[in-house]
């Protein structure tokens, strides 16, 4: 994850996200990733409601988190998010979480989502409107159909 991320979502750590050791529980990072992905979609102008309107839903198929530094309440985090890959039906969201106060890297990771027909879960390709929104926002060509 060496290239810069254009987008980040700020998240203030809540007390209930910490464990008895006083730091954020490991499972919370997947929730932070989900917030990053959701707010990224809003930022590019194609949110979850738009996807549902196109008859498509997202199913999370894979997730990975690499923990780098402890975080405590009430720190503020920046959940940097981007699309690392778009295939025919798969979208790989990539994340780089940093502490807002000192910029230290807290965690990195990814979530792979696959597209399906809303309500039936039948295979469905990524909507062209989503591809264009990502390409316009990131300044890339929306033609990677390798997965």
- Kindly state the tokens that stand for 117: 């027909």
Beta bridge partners of 112: 62, 92
State pTM to two decimals.
Answer: 0.91
Q: How far apart are CA 139 and CA 130, in angstroms?
A: 14
48, 115 Cβ separation under 8 angstroms = no
Residue 37 has pLDDT above 70, yes or no: yes
130, 53 Cβ separation under 8 angstroms = no
Work out the pLDDT band at 145, boundaries 50, 70, 90: very low
Average pLDDT, the chain: 93
pLDDT digits (tens, 9 = 90+) for 60-80: 999 999 999 999 999 999 999
Average pLDDT over residues 4-28: 96
- Kindly state the tokens that stand for 103: 């910029």
Phi, psi of 70 (to 5 degrees): -70, 145
Report which DSSP code applies to 139.
T
Residue 147 has pLDDT above 70, yes or no: no
The residue ranges of every structural domain in the chain are 8-137
Question: Of the CATH numbers 3.10.20.90, 3.40.640.10, 2.60.40.1180, 3.10.129.10, which one belongs to the domain with range 8-137?
Answer: 3.10.129.10
Residue 4 has pLDDT above 50, yes or no: yes
Average pLDDT over residues 83-97: 97
Average pLDDT over residues 78-102: 97
């Amino acid at each position: 994850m060496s290239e810069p991320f254009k987008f980040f979502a700020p998240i203030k750590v809540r007390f209930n996200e910490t464990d008895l050791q006083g730091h954020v529980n490991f499972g919370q990072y997947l929730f932070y990733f989900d917030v990053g992905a959701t707010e990224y979609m809003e930022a590019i102008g194609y949110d979850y409601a738009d996807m549902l309107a196109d008859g498509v839903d997202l199913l999370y198929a894979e997730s990975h988190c690499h923990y780098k530094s402890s975080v405590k309440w009430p720190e503020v985090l920046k959940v940097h998010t981007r699309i690392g890959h778009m295939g025919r039906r798969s979208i790989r969201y990539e994340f780089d979480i940093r502490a807002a106060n000192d910029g230290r890297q807290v965690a990195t990771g990814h979530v792979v989502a696959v597209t399906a027909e809303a309500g039936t879960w039948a295979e469905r390709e990524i909507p062209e409107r989503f591809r264009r929104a990502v390409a316009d926002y990131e300044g890339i060509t929306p033609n990677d159909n390798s997965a």
